[in-house]
Copies of this chain bind each other. A is one copy, B any other.
Amino acid sequence: MAKTKKQPRPKAQTPKGFRDYFGAEVRDRALMLERIAAVYHRYGFDALESSAVETVEALGKFLPDVDRPNEGVFAWEDDAEGWVALRYDLTAPLARVYAQHRNDLPLPYRRYAMGPVWRNEKPGPGRFRQFYQCDADTVGAASVAADAEICAMLADTLEEVGIPRGDYLIRVNNRKVLNGVLEAMGVSDEAQAADVLRTIDKFDKVGEAGVRELLGKGRLDASGAYIDGVGLSDAQIELAVGYVTARRETDTKTLERLGELIGESDVGHEGIGELMEICDLCFCLGYGDDQIIVDPSVVRGLGYYTGPVFEAELTFDILDEKGRKRQFGSVAGGGRYDDLVKRFTGQEVPATGVSIGVDRLLAALREKGRVGGEAPGPVVVTVMDRARMADYQQMVAELRGAGIRAEVYLGNPKNFGNQLKYADKRGSPVAVIAGAEEFDAGKVQIKDLVLGAQIAENATLEEWKDRPSQVEVPRADLVARVREMLGQ
């Protein structure tokens, strides 16, 4: 006889590294993205929503000598399509979309995209395997006017969502200038250039002296281990350190200083010219050096991008978990990359763009009190008499009609205390109460739960008398009185 094996109960849990977002978390993000989209749209960027699933081949993560795709993406084998994967960013899909639809798309093609991306990485505190990105890119524009536009748009976007001028700084650098400095240094080997880049990127961590050691003979690290150096000469080191510390009090002086470092390098001068053009364009549009500046210490991304690079930093202080002041840091980054579509078509297509770290920017807005905080819950109409459900529903309908978020208690109404506990859990500002007595008299009770909580905590008897937290009003005054209590 066949026996059905009893299944154990499934665990009610997200996979590790995934999470759920509730209420205000969802709404605040949606509102912020909506505002960002409005700016992008005004700048002529078109919305694009590509599919979450791509062929591994199109994503470019397929290694020729293994039959399983690269680590880092969530991939599986589809019966019809072979290996497919969840997108890990919004740039790789843009490349595929542009190559696929290039005959129908305008050139240049300005597009924005926002949505979740997935990374098959080890999750950690605050590091999730699904998170939002929000990108804007211009495909097919070789002119640095496109880069300047991205910088201007980024500044507008930050201000639009609630980061005021003075609280952010968009720092611009250019890979070509670094190439010029490397040329002046006599570093032509790509591997050595990458070593130099990796080393100057440690400036924040090990300081100037540390970078000098690491560019030269090497350095004992904190644990006592010896880190081999890049082996540059003192003159070379001088140029590299000069580069990363080239920022001066004005862009003009910074560019002058860079000019000294690159010597005769053509590519270096081209890079400086591009930075100058970006500065000029932004200046003409009214952006000041408290908004957009040239800063050669922006090294992150220089390995990937081929021209201008941008990073938006929030400059206000926050307290870290240990109570120390620190700057909020980077919330967006981007730059110019010219091999976007080449993999697909063989044709080189210039592109530039920016990606906003949605969760970090949202965290910043919370920090500044620009979103969320205590979003009030709905007005709760309690149920004293189950048979009067139509009357209670009528009350919430009237409240909603006046634009007030409201709901009737739909649980078991027997225990009235539970209804008030429910209202409390919902963060309700106001509860409405009506039983047989009130219905007979054509009245309702309105309870100010915010005031009630304050009174319970610290009010004196005198205050209580003057402003009771619960009032009885004619049924016809329900909406007006609730509105009053809500301060609307």
Distance between Cα atoms of A21 and B48 in the complex (Å): 6
B60:A10 contact, CB within 8 angstroms: yes
Partner among B48, B99, B149, B285 whose Cβ is within 8 Å of the Cβ of A410: B149
Contact size class for A?
35 or more
B55:A15 contact, CB within 8 angstroms: yes
Partner among B44, B51, B99 whose Cβ is within 8 Å of the Cβ of A15: B51
B34:A47 contact, CB within 8 angstroms: no
A12:B146 contact, CB within 8 angstroms: no
Q: Looking at A44, A100, A277, A426, which has the most chain B CB atoms within 10 Å of its CB? A: A44
Q: Is A337's beta carbon under 8 Å from chain B?
A: no
B42:A10 contact, CB within 8 angstroms: no
B405:A41 contact, CB within 8 angstroms: yes
Chain B nearest Cβ from A153, distance in angstroms: 10
Identical subunits present? 2
Q: Is A145's beta carbon under 8 Å from chain B?
A: yes
Query: Closest B-chain residue to A422, C-beta based?
Result: B106
A393:B142 contact, CB within 8 angstroms: no
Binds B, one of A78-86, A237-245, A478-486: A78-86
Distance between Cα atoms of A58 and B13 in the complex (Å): 7
Distance between Cα atoms of A380 and B21 in the complex (Å): 40
Chain B nearest Cβ from A466, distance in angstroms: 31
Query: Closest B-chain residue to A138, C-beta based?
Result: B410
Q: Is A43's beta carbon under 8 Å from chain B?
A: yes
A113-167 with Cβ < 8 A to chain B? 116, 118, 129-130, 138, 140-143, 145-146, 148-149, 152
Q: Which residues of A line the B interface, CB within 8 A?
A: 5, 7, 9-16, 18-27, 30, 34, 37, 41-44, 46-55, 57-58, 60, 64, 74-76, 78, 80-81, 84, 96-97, 99-101, 106-108, 110, 116, 118, 129-130, 138, 140-143, 145-146, 148-149, 152, 277, 280-281, 284-286, 343-346, 377-378, 380, 386, 389-391, 393-394, 397, 400, 403-408, 410-412, 422, 425-426
Distance between Cα atoms of A96 and B140 in the complex (Å): 45
B46:A11 contact, CB within 8 angstroms: no
Chain B nearest Cβ from A379, distance in angstroms: 9
Contacts of A116 in B (CB 8 A): 52
A54:B14 contact, CB within 8 angstroms: yes
Distance between Cα atoms of A408 and B138 in the complex (Å): 12
Contacts of A64 in B (CB 8 A): 5, 7
Contacts of A30 in B (CB 8 A): 34, 37, 47
Chain B nearest Cβ from A285, distance in angstroms: 5
B410:A80 contact, CB within 8 angstroms: no
Given A100-B12, A412-B142, answer yes or no on A76-B75 (Cβ-Cβ < 8 Å).
yes
**Given A149-B393, A281-B393; 6 other pairs, CB 8 A cutoff:** A9-B345, A10-B343, A14-B50, A15-B81, A26-B49, A44-B406
State the majority secondary structure of interface residues on A: mixed
Contacts of A47 in B (CB 8 A): 21-27, 30
B13:A403 contact, CB within 8 angstroms: no
B22:A46 contact, CB within 8 angstroms: yes
B411:A12 contact, CB within 8 angstroms: no
Contacts of A343 in B (CB 8 A): 9-10
A389:B100 contact, CB within 8 angstroms: no
Contacts of A24 in B (CB 8 A): 47
A143:B425 contact, CB within 8 angstroms: no
In the assembled complex, 25 residue pairs joining A and B whose CB atoms fall closer than 8 Å, in A order, are: A7-B64, A11-B55, A12-B58, A14-B50, A15-B81, A20-B48, A20-B101, A22-B101, A23-B46, A25-B47, A26-B47, A42-B403, A42-B404, A43-B400, A44-B407, A53-B129, A74-B76, A74-B78, A75-B76, A76-B76, A149-B410, A281-B389, A281-B393, A285-B393, A285-B394
Partner among B51, B142, B143, B149 whose Cβ is within 8 Å of the Cβ of A20: B51
Distance between Cα atoms of A380 and B74 in the complex (Å): 41
A344:B110 contact, CB within 8 angstroms: no
Distance between Cα atoms of A422 and B46 in the complex (Å): 14
Q: Which 4 A-B pairs have the closest CB atoms?
A: A44-B407, A12-B99, A76-B76, A18-B51
Contacts of A281 in B (CB 8 A): 389-390, 393
Chain B nearest Cβ from A204, distance in angstroms: 32
